[in-house]
Structure 1
Amino acid sequence: MKIVNSIKELKSYLAEEKRNNKQIGFVPTMGALHNGHLSLVERCVKENDVCVVSVFVNPTQFNDKHDLETYPRTLDQDCALLEPAGCDYVFAPSAEEMYPEPDTRTFDFGTVSAVMEGARRPGHFNGVAQIVSKLFYVVEPDNAYFGEKDFQQIAVIRAMVKQLDIPVKINACPILREADGLALSSRNVRLTPEQRQKAPLIARTLKESTNFAPEKSVQEVIDYVIDTINADPVMRVEYYEIVDGYTMESIRNWSDTTYPVGCITVYCGEVRLIDNIKY
C-alpha cells in the first residue's frame, strides 16, 4: 500500500495502472475510519483491480468552525486499518494541495441539496460537491463507493456527476451498525459513556416507526419519532422528515412516492448524529 500526499504523484501511479487496463475503485473519506468505511473498502477491493481511499477533512463543507476543529484526525490509525483491508493507495493531501487557491464554484442541484441538511448547514453540500468533483478529477475512478448513512449526500453526488458529466458509477452501500443499532460514525467517539448508552434510541425509534406505516399518516409517524426521541433529556431532534428517496422532497401521503425514506438528525449532547430508514 502506498501513501501519497501529492496530486501529481497519485495521477502518475494511476496513469500506469490504467495503461495496464486496471479498473479503479475509489472510496472518499474524511478519515477517523471505522467498520462502516471498511465495508466500503471491502466492496471496492472485491469489485475493482485497484482500490484508492482518500483521507481528507475537507474545510469547505463545514459551516461550523468548532465542528471542523474537533473532527477526529487519525491518519496513522486509518492506514493501519486500510492496509490489511486491501487498499492499494491512500491519498492524504493537505488543504493547500487540494485548494492551492479558493474554489469559487457554486452548484445548484435544486431541491436535492436545498432541504434537510442543505437547509440547516448552508454551503455544506456545495463544499461536498467541490471536494468530491476535485477528487474524481484526480483519481478518475470507474467506481466510487459511499455509505447510505449520508443518504442525502449520495443524491447530491449523483446530481453532481450528472451535471458535470463525470464518467463514474456511484455505488451506495448499506449502513453498518453497532450490535445495539447505532449507525457507525466517526462522531461516535465524541459521545460520553452516558450519551453512547442513549444514542441507540435513534435507530430503535426509527425501526419501531416502520410498524405504524402506512396504517398511520405520514405526519403521525413523524410526530411519534420526534416525541419518542425528545422524551429523553439527553437527546434533541433537529429534524425528522419523510421524503421521496430520489428527489428528497417531503411527502404528505404514503402514496406520494414509491420510495419513502425517513431522514433524521439528532443532537446527543453536543454531538450531531444522522440516520435514516426506508419505509
Structure 2
Amino acid sequence: MNVVETIAGVRELVRAERRRGKSIGLVPTMGYLHEGHLSLIRRARTECDFVVVSVFVNPLQFGPQEDYNTYPRDLNRDARLAAEAGAAVIFHPAPAEMYPEGFQTHVEVERLSQGLCGAFRPGHFRGVATVVTKLFNIVTPDRAYFGEKDAQQLALIQRMVRDLNLDVEIVPLPIVRESDGLALSSRNTYLSPAERRAATVLYRALLRGRDLIAAGERDGRRVGEAVRGTLQAEPLVSRIDYVAVVDPETLAEKAALSGRVMLAVAAYIGKVRLIDNIRVVVD
C-alpha cells in the first residue's frame, strides 16, 4: 500500500492517473478502519479506477475536552485493510501539512451545523467542512463516499457541495452494524464488555420508534418520547444528548410524520458518546 504524507505527493499521483483517463474516488476517514469504512472503499473501487483513502485525525473537529489525543490510531493496520478493500493509496498528512503556520481560513455551513450534534460540539462541523473542502481540493475526486451513520455530517457535506458548486458526486452508503445491531464506530473500542452489551440500546430505541410509525403513529413528539424512554431504561446510559425526529436532508424537526423521516440519537454509554439513526419512509 502506497502511503503518501504530503499534499504535493498525492496530487502528483492523482494527476498521473487522470492523464491516463482514470476516474478518482475518495473515502475520507480518521483511520482505525472498520467494516463500515471498508464498505465505502469497496463501493468506491467498483465505481472508480483509482481510490484514495485519507487517514487524518482532524484536530479542528475536536473540542478542548474531547478525545483527539486518545482517538485510536493504527496506520499499518489501516493500510493493510484499505489495500485488501481495493484502495490504491492512503493520504496520511500530519496536522502541520493540512494546517500550516498562519492558517486562518475555515468553511462553515451555517444552519445545518447548529442542531443535533452541533449543539453539543461547538465548532465540530466547521472543522468537518473545512477539512473535507481541503480534501476535495487536494484530491479532486469524481466521487466521494460517506456513511449514513454520521447523518448530520452527510447532510452538511451534501449542502456544502451544492452551495459551493463543488465538482464532486457525494455517494452515501447505509450504516454497517454488528450482528446485534450496534452501529460500527471506531469509538466502540472504548467500551467495556458491559458497556458494549448496553450500547445496543441505541438501535433498540430507534427500532421502537420505527415500530410505532409502522403501527400508524404520526406524531413525531410521541415517537421521540418512546425512543427516549427506551434509552432511559438502560442503567448504563449516563446521558442523552438528543433524541430527534427530523427530515434527513434539512434536519428540520418533523412534528407530523410523512414522507422521509430520520430518527436520530446521541447518548453516552458510561463515558463514551455514541450516535445512531434510522431512516423511515412514512406513507
Q: TM-score range by the shorter chain?
A: over 0.9
SS of residue in 2 equivalent to 1:69? coil
CA displacement, residues 156-190 of structure 1 (integer Å, 9 cap, x when unaligned)? 11111123221000000000000000000000000
Kept after mapping to 2: 8 A contact 1:103/1:130:
no
Please identify, of 145-154 and 232-241, the stretch whose mean Cα deviation from structure 2 is larger.
232-241
1:270 aligns to 2:244 (yes or no): no
Following the alignment from structure 1 to structure 2, what is the Cα–Cα distance between the partners of residues 216 and 160?
31
- The residue type paired with residue 259 of structure 1 is R
Q: Tell me which residue corresponds to 1:34.
A: 34
Kept after mapping to 1: 8 A contact 2:182/2:200:
yes
1:241 aligns to 2:256 (yes or no): no
Residue 257 of structure 2, aligned match among 236, 254, 257: 254
Q: Map of 1:117-266 to 2, 5 A cutoff? A: 117-213=117-213, 214-215=216-217, 217-235=219-237, 236-255=239-258, 258-266=259-267
CA displacement, residues 211-254 of structure 1 (integer Å, 9 cap, x when unaligned)? 11142521111111111111212113210111111111111111
Following the alignment from structure 1 to structure 2, what is the Cα–Cα distance between the partners of residues 144 and 102?
28
SS of residue in 1 equivalent to 2:167? coil
CA displacement, residues 137-170 of structure 1 (integer Å, 9 cap, x when unaligned)? 1100000000000011011111111232210000
Shift of 1:31: 0.2
Kept after mapping to 2: 8 A contact 1:4/1:93:
yes
Following the alignment from structure 2 to structure 1, what is the Cα–Cα distance between the partners of residues 189 and 241?
20
Give RMSD over aligned pairs.
Answer: 1.3
Q: Tell me which residue corresponds to 1:60.
A: 60
Report runs of 4+ in structure 1 exceeding 4 Å deviation.
none
SS of residue in 1 equivalent to 2:205? helix
Distance 1:78 1:261, change over 3 A: same
- The residue type paired with residue 221 of structure 2 is Q
Following the alignment from structure 2 to structure 1, what is the Cα–Cα distance between the partners of residues 182 and 107?
33
Distance 1:58 1:130, change over 3 A: same
Please identify, of 23-32 and 198-207, the stretch whose mean Cα deviation from structure 2 is larger.
198-207
Length, aligned pairs only: 277
Following the alignment from structure 2 to structure 1, what is the Cα–Cα distance between the partners of residues 108 and 137?
19
Following the alignment from structure 2 to structure 1, what is the Cα–Cα distance between the partners of residues 81 and 63?
29
Kept after mapping to 1: 8 A contact 2:208/2:226:
no
Contiguous gaps of at least 5 residues in structure 1: none
CA displacement, residues 61-109 of structure 1 (integer Å, 9 cap, x when unaligned)? 1114441122111111111111111110100010011111354334443
- The residue type paired with residue 273 of structure 2 is R
Please identify, of 101-110 and 191-200, the stretch whose mean Cα deviation from structure 2 is larger.
101-110
TM-score, normalization by structure 1: 0.96
Please identify, of 238-247 and 179-188, the stretch whose mean Cα deviation from structure 2 is larger.
238-247
CA displacement, residues 16-67 of structure 1 (integer Å, 9 cap, x when unaligned)? 1000110000000000110000000000011100010000000001114441
Following the alignment from structure 2 to structure 1, what is the Cα–Cα distance between the partners of residues 211 and 55?
39
- The residue type paired with residue 267 of structure 2 is V
Following the alignment from structure 2 to structure 1, what is the Cα–Cα distance between the partners of residues 68 and 134?
20
Please identify, of 161-170 and 29-38, the stretch whose mean Cα deviation from structure 2 is larger.
161-170
State, as a whole percentage, how many aligned pairs show the same letter: 45
